[in-house]
């Protein structure tokens, strides 16, 4: 498998700086590149609850912070997108799922990268199953367990 080219900007809001150690640039780039079907320019921003809530409210009309938001600007010939991850939500979910924080971040980055390429789990059951299968395959290739397997 030939990995696609990725230009990555990795940003941490002050409120999320403690997650920098869990998200080294090389790991984030590796996780995203394995999900890409095209070359990409992606900015990943890890934010606190207030910024996550504001973005989710302003762009999706949902007044709560969510784990990952994908802002896709172009899909071909180059994927251009911003992925915003809300550190406190990701941390809480990882604890609830009893998964390592890095594994949950890897899943959400793969999930967001797939959204940036047009994958959508909210358009029907078949699309959701296809996206979950793709996420599971990508993550398995990276050495992570099936994120949809419940213990």
Which CATH number, 3.40.390.30, 3.40.50.2300, 1.10.10.10, 3.40.50.10260, labels domain 6-141?
3.40.390.30
Question: pLDDT in tens for each of the 151 residues of the chain?
Answer: 689 999 999 999 999 999 999 999 999 999 999 999 999 999 999 999 999 999 999 999 999 999 999 999 999 899 999 999 999 999 999 999 999 999 999 999 999 999 999 999 988 899 999 999 999 999 999 999 999 986 5
pTM for the structure as a whole: 0.96
Q: Domains of the chain: which residue ranges?
A: 6-141
Q: Could you write out the DSSP letters of every residue in the chain? A: -PPPPEEEEEEE-GGGGGGGGGS-HHHHHHHHHTT-SS-EEEEEEEE-HHHHHHHHHHHHS--S--SEEEEEEE-SSSEEEEEEEEHHHHHHHHHHHT--HHHHHHHHHHHHHHHHTT--SSS-HHHHHHHHHHHHHHHHHTTPPPTT---
């Amino acid at each position: 498998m030939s990995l696609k080219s990725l230009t990555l900007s990795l940003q941490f809001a002050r409120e999320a700086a403690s997650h920098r150690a869990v998200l080294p640039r090389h790991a984030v780039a590796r996780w995203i590149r394995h999900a890409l079907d095209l070359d990409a320019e992606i900015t990943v921003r890890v934010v606190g609850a207030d910024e996550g809530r504001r973005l989710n409210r302003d762009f999706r009309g949902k007044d709560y912070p969510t784990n990952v938001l994908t802002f896709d600007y172009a899909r071909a010939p180059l994927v251009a997108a911003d992925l915003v991850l809300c550190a406190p939500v990701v941390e809480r979910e990882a604890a609830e799922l009893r998964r390592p924080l890095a594994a949950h971040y890897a899943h959400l980055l793969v999930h967001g990268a797939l959204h940036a390429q047009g994958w959508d789990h909210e358009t029907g059951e078949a699309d959701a199953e296809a996206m979950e299968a793709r996420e599971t395959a990508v993550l398995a290739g990276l050495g992570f367990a099936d994120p949809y397997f419940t213990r």
